[in-house]
Structure 1
C-alpha cells in the first residue's frame, strides 16, 4: 500500500513516515520545509519518495496523491502566538491547504486522516471534554482548525472518508524549540542549566500525549472501517504546569525554582480529553504515561 504524508518532515509527520516505512508501506512525503526539517527523516531518505512541495500547489499535489491508498495530512502552521500576527497566512495554509487535500480525497476516493486540534474547544465548560462539546476556539490558530472541521463535515457528506484527530498536548524527542510545546521548552531550559519559565500561576492543566501514541492513533484510524469522525487524542489524565516543571526538574537531578512569567494571549486554562470514542471507533488507547515519556528526554 502507498500512503501520502503531508508535513512529513515535521515533528509528528516524520514519526508517521518512519513508522509506515518500518512496517513495509510505500510513502510519499510532501513538505515545503518551511518548518519541517530533512534531518527529521535522517536514515530514511532512500526509503521514501520526498517532494519539496507546498500543499497550496494543487496541481502538483494532485499528481502525487492520485494513486495513493490514503493521506495522512499533518501539514499546518501551528503557533498560537504567531497566528495572531499572521492571520491571513494561517488561513491560507491551514484552511485553503486542507481543503485541497479534501478535494483530492473526493476526486480519487482516498481516505484522509488529518491533524485537528484540541484548540477547537477553547476554554471548555467542563473537563474531561467529549467530542460533542461546544467548539469555541479562543485564538486564530484554533479558528483555522475549526474551519477545517466544518469543511470535513461538508466533504464527508459528499462521500469523502475523513477522520480528524483532535490532538491534545503532543510531546516527544525531536520537537523543535521554536514552536514546541511546554515540555520541549522546559527540557531545553533545564538542559542549558536554566530554570523553566512558567506562564501564569502554573495551575493551568494539560493532557500530555506522546508522539508515539499519536502515530498509532493515525494508523488505526486509517485502517479502521470508520468513515467519518472527530476523535480526541490524549490520555484523559491532567497535569498542572507547576507539577510538570517540578517533575522534569526532579528527573534531571538538578535544583531549580521555576521562573513565573505573564500568560500569553490565547492560552487555554484547562484541557483534558475524554478518549472513550477513539477506543470505541478505532480501537486506540494510549500506552505511554507522562513520567515514562519524560524519561526518554533525560535518559535516552
Structure 2
C-alpha cells in the first residue's frame, strides 16, 4: 500500500515513515521543512519526498492522488511559542488540517492525525478519558480542540478520520528550544549540568516512546475503526521529579535538579486512560519508561 505522511521529516512523522517502510509499504513524505530535517528522510527507493506546506491546497491535492491513507503529522507544536504566534498556529494547525480532511473526503481515503492530550488541559482527576471535558490552557491546545471538532464534522459527512491524542512523547531525534522535558533533561546531562524543573516537580505526566506512537498510528490506520479519538500513552503516571531522579540515576552522574518558577500554560495532571485504544484499535504500548530511557541515554550520553 502507499501512504502519505505529512510532517514526515519531523520527529514523530519520521518514525511513522520508518515503520511503514519496515512493513514494506510505499511512503510519500510531504513536509515544508520548516522544522523538518533532511536526515529524517529515510534512504529508500520506496520513499518519495515532496516539499509542500499543508496550507497549499492545490499542490497538496495533486500530490495526494493515489494514496491509500494519510498520516497527518504536520503542524506547529511548541506551547510557549503558541502564545507569541496564536494566529500562525491557528492557520497551520487548523486550516492546514481542514485541507487534509477536505482532500481525504474527495479521495475517499482514511486519515489518522496527531491530536494531543493538551486538549484536556487542567483536569482534577486522572487517568483522563477521551470524553472528559476539554479545557486547553494554551493556544496550541486550542488548535488541537479545533482539529478534533473538524474531524467530528467531516466524520458526519462520511469521512474515516481517527485522532490520536498523544501524551508525552519522547525518543531519539526530539530537539528544539521547547522540546519535551526528557529531551531537555538529556541535554543537561549530556553537558553534565543540573536538569531544570519548572514548578515543584509534582506535575504528573504519561511518557510514551515515539516507537510506540508510530505503532499506534499504523494500528489505527489498518484497524476497522472508522472514526474516533483515542488516548495514546502508557497509562503509567510519573512526576517530573521522579523522571529527573530516574535519568540522573541512569546517567550515574552525581547531580541534583534545580527548581525554577512554574511556566504559564503548564498542565498539572496528565495520565491516559487506555481502555478505548485497547478495545477499538487493539493497541497498547510496549516500551516501559526506564527501558526506553536507558536505550535513549546509552545512544546519546
| TM-score of the pair, normalised by structure 2 | 0.98
Equivalenced residues, count = 299
1:109 corresponds to 2:113: no
Deviation at 1:42, TM superposition (A): 4.6
2:61 maps to what in 1?
62
1:11 corresponds to 2:4: no
List alignment gaps of at least 5 residues for structure 2: none
* 1:67-146 alignment, distance < 5 Å: 67-146=66-145
Are the equivalent residues in 2 in contact too, given 1:202–1:240 (CA < 8 A)? yes
Spell out, residue by residue over 1:13-62, the C-alpha distance to the aligned partner (whole angstroms, 9 max, x if none): 00001111121111100000101111122534x44110111000100000
C-alpha distance in 2, partners of 1:229/1:139?
A: 23
C-alpha distance in 1, partners of 2:150/2:252?
A: 48
C-alpha distance in 2, partners of 1:114/1:42?
A: 21
* 1:152-167 alignment, distance < 5 Å: 152-167=151-166
Q: Secondary structure at the match of 2:163?
A: strand
2:268 maps to what in 1?
269
1:228 maps to what in 2?
227
Are the equivalent residues in 1 in contact too, given 2:121–2:267 (CA < 8 A)? yes
C-alpha distance in 1, partners of 2:12/2:178?
A: 13
Are the equivalent residues in 2 in contact too, given 1:173–1:296 (CA < 8 A)? no
Spell out, residue by residue over 1:101-143, the C-alpha distance to the aligned partner (whole angstroms, 9 max, x if none): 0001111101000000000000113100011100110100000
Deviation at 1:66, TM superposition (A): 1.7
Q: Secondary structure at the match of 1:198?
A: strand
Deviation at 1:205, TM superposition (A): 0.7
Deviation at 1:297, TM superposition (A): 1.9
Spell out, residue by residue over 1:192-227, the C-alpha distance to the aligned partner (whole angstroms, 9 max, x if none): 111100000101110000001001100000000101
Are the equivalent residues in 2 in contact too, given 1:213–1:286 (CA < 8 A)? yes
Are the equivalent residues in 2 in contact too, given 1:187–1:297 (CA < 8 A)? no
2:281 maps to what in 1?
282
C-alpha distance in 2, partners of 1:47/1:188?
A: 34
1:24 maps to what in 2?
24
C-alpha distance in 2, partners of 1:239/1:125?
A: 16
Are the equivalent residues in 2 in contact too, given 1:78–1:179 (CA < 8 A)? no
Are the equivalent residues in 2 in contact too, given 1:29–1:50 (CA < 8 A)? yes
1:39 maps to what in 2?
39
Are the equivalent residues in 2 in contact too, given 1:111–1:160 (CA < 8 A)? yes
C-alpha distance in 2, partners of 1:179/1:18?
A: 24
List alignment gaps of at least 5 residues for structure 1: none
Query: Aligned-pair RMSD on alpha carbons?
Result: 0.9
